[in-house]
Amino acid sequence: MRIIAFGSSHAVGYKLSDVENSHYDTVSNLAFPSIVANYFNCECKNYAKCANPMDQILTDIMAYIPHGHPDDVIILQLPKWPHWFKLITPDNHVHNINNPDSLNDKGSKYSKALESYMGVLTGDAHWTRIWYVNFFSIMNLLFQHNKKFIWFFDSYSAEYLEFDTRVNILPQGLSFQMRDIKKSMPDPAQYYIPQIYSIYLEEHCPESVMPGGHYNEIGHKFWAENVLIPAIKERLTN
């Protein structure tokens, strides 16, 4: 058995004490994937990255599949943000875009172009469609390869939790497509953890909240012991 983790900064363990002076994508041994792996006395492979958008999480999972083991258990932490995406600039640099000033360090022409792209050429329906395509692709991939997985959101996701409402903002043809895609695979809800990471910790473990929307070692341990480990035990019996 191995614990395999995908996600963004929460799964990385961003700014936890053992990595606070390291590169921001350095995986912490104090983050919840490692705590879970220690409990089950098994190896942990953590592929999470800070500000990881859905398209890159899908790519990470696709790259993992050829190297997966039959007894792997996947912890999948998904970000709610539809407008996060991976961008490659003309000089071949890769940027995780999570707001219109993400390219300020590249100069004003980049950030202004990005503002135009995000604010004028696109709208909510554009980002919602991309989010659904990536989300359903992730789920379908895991189901097709018979992977054992559990998954949760780091914060409230209207796209998933209010599907019937959110899908209606799409043009009619695309809306019908998303409904058909959802019907075409097993229901992801069977492996969904209904507790939302940030809401759960702020309610049940407020001493874990750190500035900037992350959580300390106390929170990671609390989440692992009270949510993830029980969910994985249940998943292993199914």
Cα 68 to chain centroid distance, Å, stands at 19
Total residues found in the chain within this entry: 238
Q: b vs e for 10-43, b when ≥16 Cβ sit within 10 Å of the residue's Cβ?
A: bbbbbbbeebeeeeeeebbebbbbbbbbeebeee
What's the burial of 125, exposed, middle or buried (CB within 10 Å: 0-12/13-18/19+)?
middle
pLDDT attached to residue 148: 96
CA atoms of 156 and 168, how far apart (whole Å): 19
Q: What is the pLDDT of residues 127-160, one digit of tens each?
A: 999 999 999 999 999 999 999 999 999 999 999 9
How far apart CA 216 and CA 221 sit, in angstroms, is 9
pLDDT for residue 208: 96
* Res 211: pLDDT: 85
Structural domains of the chain ordered from first start: 2-237 (3.40.50.1110)
Give the pLDDT of residue 84: 81
In the sheet with 72-78, reading across from the earlier edge strand, the strands are 43-46, 2-6, 72-78, 148-153
pLDDT value at position 112?
76
**Tens digit of pLDDT at every position of the chain (238 positions):** 999 999 999 999 988 988 777 787 788 999 999 999 999 999 999 999 998 999 999 999 999 999 999 999 999 999 988 888 888 888 888 887 877 677 777 777 777 777 777 777 788 899 999 999 999 999 999 999 999 999 999 999 999 999 999 999 999 999 999 999 999 999 999 999 999 999 999 999 999 999 888 999 999 999 999 999 999 999 888 7
Composition of the chain by helix, strand, coil, percent to 5: 50, 15, 35
Cα 232 to Cα 196: distance, rounded to the nearest angstrom: 16
For the stretch 103-132, pLDDT in tens is 777 777 777 777 777 777 788 899 999 999
Q: What is the pLDDT of residue 114?
A: 76
Q: Cα(136)–Cα(133) distance, rounded to whole angstroms?
A: 5
Gap between the Cα atoms of 145 and 61, Å rounded: 11
pLDDT of residue 194: 94
C-alpha dist (Å) from residue 66 to 54, 71, 162:
20, 14, 34
